[in-house]
Amino acid sequence: MGKVVENHNLQIASQVVHMVAAYFDLDVEVHLIVGNLGDSWAETICYCEGFGEIEFDKEFISNASRDEVITVTAHEMVHIKQYECDGLMLSEKAAYFKGKKWKGEYWFSPWEVEARGYEQAFLHFFDQLQENFS
């Protein structure tokens, strides 16, 4: 049963990837993968311009509600947008966003605040799109 939910949730995540990419007019290829992240529901990796990956924790993607899948995927897609358009660069030693080095707390970083801000907006937008095509 978990595999069916996982596949269904990955289908929803794929739809969200396309929706957010279209909203921000991003020309990106984003792969969705499943792994064992432990403390995180999802993580974004951008390998180079135009190509990224969203890795979902297996436990999360198998058991998450529809709304959780939408908001988490939208959050990670905002990070893809930030890598592509806003100069987001994260490393062990430093973090940069919009040309400035960030020295503050992670949870108050501008890239995290922006991504959290878009989560509910994209959830409602996704629902509106679903209603329009039903």
With a cut of 50, say whether residue 2 has pLDDT above it.
no
- H/E element, 96: strand 95-97
Residue span of the structural domain in which 13 resides: 2-132
Q: What is the pLDDT of residues 69-105, one digit of tens each?
A: 999 999 999 999 999 999 999 888 889 999 999 999 9
Q: How confident is the model at residue 3 (pLDDT cuts 50, 70, 90)?
A: low
Cα–Cα distance list, 102 to 8, 76, 93, 95 (Å): 37, 19, 11, 5
Which CATH number belongs to the domain containing residue 34 in this structure? 3.30.2010.10
Task: Tell me the pLDDT band of 133, cut-offs 50, 70 and 90.
Answer: confident
Q: Which residues contact 49 (CB under 8 A, 6 or more apart)?
A: 84
pTM for the structure as a whole: 0.92
The string of pLDDT tens digits covering residues 8-46 is 999 999 999 999 999 999 999 999 999 999 889 999 998
Domain total in the chain: 1
